[in-house]
Amino acid sequence: MALENATVMKAFRMYSLLARDSVVNKGLLQEYMADDEVRGLVDQFAREVDCVTIIAGEQLYMIPETRLSPFHMNNEVIKRTYLRANAVNADLYLMYVSIIVLIGAFYDSYQTMEPTRSFIQLDEWTALVNERIRMLKRYPETELREMEKEFSYNWTSLIDKWSAMDDIKETASRQSGNTISRVSFMDSVRRFLIAQELVSDIGNQEITLTEKAKVVVQRYFMELEYNRGILEFLYQFDPSEEEASRHAGDI
């Protein structure tokens, strides 16, 4: 049975708003949930552009599922918009690793489906990234090179990039300049996540996960198909074991 034109147009208008803003609010979400035919069409339109729809709180989001999606934010845009003007791929992948570590901090190293904490401070998040990169430094260079082939991450360049950053906690005025530091880099990652509505800034250098982030984590981050084993790789060492590897030195 052919769908009525009014139903098709209602679904298309909803999809158009999702395509423009990536989100629609409570009123349209209720229409989406109440009408099976509209919901099916909106989801079908999203799939045609390699996107999926997710419901988080009282909002409906459309997010790209693959790099083939025209809504996927490419690496150059991310570097140009959120990182330094001369950022390279190592900066970008360090951002990705920092985000993985952030999610791990909320989800007990990927062993739970619900967050185990309410918020995290920027300083603690920075320290956790440092901890994970110290774990990477434990590997002999030959092993790292082999794992780079497996995970498509240049772990050696990430270690070098992080090691080259200033570890001094800067003043607010210095952070606003071009000084390269771990603090300012992590703040750039924080701003990216806020812009993508994945974290909220709650003040005092503290952030919390949004409902959108929780749904994305449950739906994708926990799936080996999507994380390609990177999460297990980063968390295979317990921080308490670090005492046995002091010979690796501090980064």
* pLDDT tens digits for range 166-198: 765 544 334 444 457 899 999 999 999 999 999
Distances (CA, A) of 212 to 55, 201, 218: 8, 15, 10
pLDDT digits (tens, 9 = 90+) for 198-231: 999 999 999 999 999 999 988 877 665 555 566 6
Q: How confident is the model at residue 145 (pLDDT cuts 50, 70, 90)?
A: confident
pLDDT in the model for residue 188: 94
Q: How confident is the model at residue 122 (pLDDT cuts 50, 70, 90)?
A: very high
Beta strand ranges found along 79-226 (DSSP E) = 120-121, 199-203, 206-209
Neighbours of 117 (CB within 10 A): 11
pLDDT mean over 144-172: 75
Angle at 144 between CA 143 and CA 146, to 5 degrees: 65
pLDDT in the model for residue 182: 92
Distance CA 50, CA 45 (A): 9
Q: How confident is the model at residue 138 (pLDDT cuts 50, 70, 90)?
A: confident
pLDDT in the model for residue 126: 95
Average pLDDT, the chain: 83
pLDDT in the model for residue 247: 41
Task: Name residue 242's beta-bridge partners.
Answer: none
Instruction: State what percent of residues in the chain have pLDDT above 90.
Output: 47
Q: How confident is the model at residue 241 (pLDDT cuts 50, 70, 90)?
A: very low
3-class DSSP state for residue 171?
coil
pLDDT digits (tens, 9 = 90+) for 19-58: 999 999 889 999 999 999 999 999 999 999 999 999 999 9
Beta strand ranges found along 114-161 (DSSP E) = 120-121
Neighbours of 198 (CB within 10 A): 19
**Edge-to-edge order in the sheet of strand 120-121:** 120-121, 206-209, 199-203
Instruction: State what percent of residues in the chain have pLDDT above 70.
Output: 79
Distance CA 251, CA 78 (A): 26
Distance CA 214, CA 103 (A): 9
What φ, ψ does residue 143 adopt, rounded to 5°? -70, -40
